[in-house]
A and B are shown apart, each in its own frame.
Chain A
Amino acid sequence: MPKRGIIARIKKIKSDEDKIAVEDALKHLYDCEFKKLDCSLNSLTGNLGLKPNQIAQVISKLESMSLVTLFNGKINLTEHGRDYATRVVRIHRLWERYLAENTSVSENEWHVIAEEREHETTDEVAEWLSARLGNPLVDPHGDPIPNKSGEILSKDGVTLNNLGEEKYARIIHIEDEPKEVYAQLTAFGLYPGMQIKILENTKDKVRFLADGHECLLAPVLAANLTVQEIDKKEIVTENFDNLTALEIDEVATVVGISNAMRGQQRRRMLDFGIVPGTTIYTRLKSLKGDPSAYEVRGALIALRKNQSDLIHIKKLKAS
């Protein structure tokens, strides 16, 4: 298999730093290709944070291994290059998924840690990781994970700043680079799968409803969100509260659990029977209101505020 040959050749690169630079360059080229952008030497320099002469070295190394071709100042991936890049992307996204589901590493660190681990993970470990996670199709940012043979599924979407006013959409991707921007977006509680409604879209600001809360973003930031337009009839998550807002002895119906609640924590909620349609009462609040106890299906369950914040409800009139 030619792919084997390439991997073997890359593995022969002596210094780890060189390997990291080569892999990062391939990943960036792949990303440009995926977004149908032309990749120049400049964008590569900016992205990898290397000096121009170092970049030239990396490019010539890539060319000598026939991973890229240079044509009119544009850099294009060869078939082998694409294979190799999807492998690195696959490992990166698997790690992000793992960190999101199986650890309590904070959201802003997923990308950073995955950036390190993608260079040192062997194919065997990657397969084990994938199997352990149930062969996931997307990473926690909503990006598709390429399969073992490098195939990747795609969704068509537009960036948020290009969506018309009064339109409904579902977030399908949150760009995790640069990380300062990602931190700002997640601070709003945005997550892939979230349903939104555009209220206002001008060249100064984008105003939209996300899970019932109003968010305001600069168009530059909004460009980091990819959304898919949906029909109005799909909308279920408009005008609702979260469980924290339910006062003692009030009653509500669960509308859904936010996708920001993941892994073991999410499964625990489902085990308790907290699913859409469940009737839920607030019964006790501890001294500071955190935790509070809720009656669900005849059982009394205590939840912390950071959990009840992620459970969406619709209040009912007390019976």
Chain B
Amino acid sequence: MINKREEILKQATRYRWEIGENLHDSILESIYSEAANIAKVVVTRDNEKRKFDWDRWIDKLVTGKWTGFPIMFLLLAVVFWLTISGANVPSALLASLLVDTIHPILKSGAEYLYFPWWLSGVLIDGAYLALAWVISVMLPPMAIFFPLFTLLEDFGYLPRVAFNMDNLYKRVGAHGKQALTMSMGFGCNAAGVIAARIIDSPRERLIAIITNNFSLCNGRWPTQILIATIFIGGAVHPMLAGFTSAAAVMSVAVLGVFFSLIVSWLLSKSVLKGEASAFSLELPPYRPPRFLQTLYTSLIDRTLMVLWRAVVFAAPAGIAIWLVSNITIADITLAEYFVKNVNPYAAIIGLNGVIILAYIIAVPANEIVIPTVLMLTALTSNIAGFGSGAGVMFEMDSLSDTEMLLRSGGWTLLTGINLMLFSLLHNPCSTTIYTIYKETKSLKWTLISTFLPIAMGIVICFFVAQFWRLLV
């Protein structure tokens, strides 16, 4: 028995040796030619030529030397414009419903039921308010951005963008499709990380995942716009204020793209050097987008899934935010204690203790950073008349009130600039970190994606602060 088995194995090895290494190729070749022969007999085609010519015509247009890039930037601009301007109204509606209407009702309901103050504080001012904030800021832009993006994908346009951009991405050791995951990251980094599944080469996919955080996400745009309007717009002539602050926000976004390219290049040349890499990019035929299906799948798969993860993380964060502002040791809250001790160190990188604390406790969602910053500023600088108490996040309708509050908290133009930089370069939100872990199944890459941007943020803010103090 055993002898026979050995003999057969030996015979097999001998045959393999004689046939050589290219057996696999030859088998596939014969399978393909056989399949082609069968198809020739049994498949009839009509009208395909016309459809194909039409596809070729669109392809020539969207990948053309003079037309490709303008079309790409135009479409991207339209998507952003629709998202930002379209999201304003529903966002305001949701905020007035969830924050201005339901929140007081819940508070008085709790009072009616004789809730102890701390319980209604933790549950309603903490957990509920954080949820309300995340939903009202996050939901509308995502519900617009993702369906629009998915429509372009469904039509077949996005692979052509990857085709146009591949030359640039190839130079930094990445895949052209990273242009798509990066754009998706402008909506939400967690969604961008998931979108990296479209890159089937392991090395390039990791690069896309790790660098996605450099796309300024939906939760960070409002921070950028608010701070730029107050500090940068406020530093120039009122005639130029609008233009200057818009330019500042755009430069931060472009800086993010620049960093994503640099870091891709560094990663591909260092830690990811030997990882397997294989390029492939299919350009599928164009087809009319299926609106309803697209709307449904992008809402369920992308928007709601991301929103759900954010909500799961936001509630505990709300509780933490309320607790640090209300637990006191010798009449000093934990927040004040932290802020006072961290202030001198934060000053080295041109920030302050409030910002550092806000970025730590608001890690679940960038959306609640600004409300947390405002609340903590009011709390720690003992300014009365803002917000509705310790641990209750708020935002103000009036820009000048916000500015007054921040300035009385000791903010300067440098604080504003460095906050904009730090908002671009810090750890991803916990939703994204969790998503990175789920996608890579690797603690190592999760830690790298988390701490690499924050290290870069600290270094860059440090240098900006030092030069600022030397020159100004």
Contact = CB atoms under 8 A, between A and B. Distances in A.
Interface string B190-202: 0000000000010
Contacts of A304: 166, 170, 279
A259 to B, nearest CB: 7
B16 A275 contact: no
Interface centre among B24, B59, B167, B176, by most chain A C-beta atoms within 10 angstroms, is: B167
Interface in A275-308: 275-278, 283-284, 286-288, 290-291, 293, 297, 299-304, 307
Contacts of B28: 270, 275
A290 B167 contact: yes
Contact of B167 (A147, A268, A270, A286): A286
A103 B65 contact: no
A75 interface: no
A263 B29 contact: no
Interface string B253-282: 000000000000000000001111111111
A284 B63 contact: yes
A70 B17 CA distance: 35
B29 A277 contact: yes
Given A137-B13, A137-B16, A303 B29 contact: no
Contacts of B164: 286-287
Contact of A105 (B29, B170, B274, B282): B274
Interface in B406-451: none
Contact of B29 (A99, A259, A275, A286): A275
A212 B278 CA distance: 26
A99 to B, nearest CB: 8
Contacts of A256: 25
B20 A291 contact: no
A293 B56 CA distance: 11
A265 B29 contact: no
Contacts of B283: 284, 293, 300-302
A128 interface: no
Contacts of B162: 302
A272 interface: yes
Interface string B49-74: 00000011001100101001000000
Given A277-B33, A287-B68, A307-B279, A103 B274 contact: yes
Contacts of A263: 276, 278
Interface string B65-103: 100100000000000000000000000000000000000
A264 B20 contact: no
A275 B26 CA distance: 8
Interface string A58-80: 00000000000000000000000
* Highest count of chain B CB atoms <10 Å: which of A102, A147, A293: A293
Given A263-B278, A286-B164, A304-B166, A104 B25 contact: no
B17 A137 contact: yes
Contacts of A302: 162-163, 166, 176, 280-283
B32 A104 contact: no
Contact of A284 (B24, B59, B280): B59
Contact of B275 (A104, A259, A268): A104
Give the residue among B60, B167, B280, B281 with the most A Cβ atoms within 10 A: B280
A273 B163 contact: no
Nearest to B200: A268
Contact of B21 (A259, A291, A297): A259
A181 to B, nearest CB: 24
B400 interface: no
Given A138-B21, A307-B279, A276 B29 contact: yes
A103 B276 CA distance: 4
A275 B281 CA distance: 18
A271 to B, nearest CB: 8
B302 interface: no
Interface string B278-314: 1111111100000000000000000000000000000
A153 to B, nearest CB: 5
Contacts of B14: 153
Interface string B18-36: 0011101100110011001
> What 6 pairs between A and B have smallest CB-CB spacing?
A302-B281, A300-B283, A265-B278, A275-B29, A104-B277, A264-B278
22 contacts: A103-B274, A104-B276, A137-B17, A147-B13, A153-B17, A256-B25, A259-B21, A263-B276, A268-B278, A268-B280, A273-B32, A277-B29, A277-B33, A284-B60, A286-B167, A287-B164, A287-B167, A290-B167, A291-B163, A293-B283, A301-B280, A301-B282
Interface of A: 99, 102-105, 137-138, 144, 147, 153, 193, 256-257, 259, 263-265, 268, 270, 272-273, 275-278, 283-284, 286-288, 290-291, 293, 297, 299-304, 307
